[in-house]
Amino acid sequence: MAINFEQALGVHPNTLAFRTQRAKVLASNLANVDTPNYKARDISFEDAMSQVANEARAKHLARRRPQDYELLYRAPQQPARDGNTVELGVEQAQFAANAMAFQTSTTFLNMKLSGLKKAINGQ
């Protein structure tokens, strides 16, 4: 009996790809905190996962590449005079929350892989 890894691993590989891409976007925001007219960007987890789910329902064979996620502009609470919309505290909090979510997804994926290993070994 063959193992379908896409079914066995579920959404976790897609979630890790999303979290990795989001970390890059948030890191770019942090790197440009002092760049005039730089606009803070982000990616919506809900939108990204609903796109993945819609593609799965449509049975598209091509996987969504992380760079295909739609980048959104973040609305600042207090925009700077130089046109920069990056707020250091907000970006640091978002980066930390994303890192924790990445770790959680990694833990779930490791649990799935551990279960598959046990099944393969007949335990």
The reply to whether 78 falls in a domain is yes
The reply to whether 42 falls in a domain is yes
The reply to whether 32 falls in a domain is yes
The reply to whether 84 falls in a domain is yes
Note the pLDDT of residue 56: 61
Residue 102 pLDDT level (bands cut at 50, 70, 90): very high
DSSP symbols for 3-24: --HHHHHTTHHHHHHHHHHHHH
Can you tell me the distance from the alpha carbon of 14 to that of 30, in angstroms, rounded to the nearest whole number?
A: 24
List, in order, residues 6 or more apart from 23 with CB less than 8 Å away: 95, 98, 99, 102
- Both tokens of 76, joined, read 């600042």
- Both tokens of 48, joined, read 């990204």
The reply to whether 74 falls in a domain is yes
pTM: 0.78
The reply to whether 4 falls in a domain is no
- Domain of 73, in residue numbers: 13-121
| pLDDT tens digits along 8-57 | 777 788 888 899 999 999 999 999 999 999 999 999 888 877 776 666 65
The reply to whether 5 falls in a domain is no
Q: How many domains, the chain? A: 1
Residue in the structure block whose two tokens are 């640091």: 92
| Type and span of the H or E element at 72 | strand 72-73
The reply to whether 3 falls in a domain is no
Per-residue pLDDT at 66 exceeds 70 = no
Note the pLDDT of residue 52: 67
**What mean pLDDT is predicted for residues 98-108?**
94
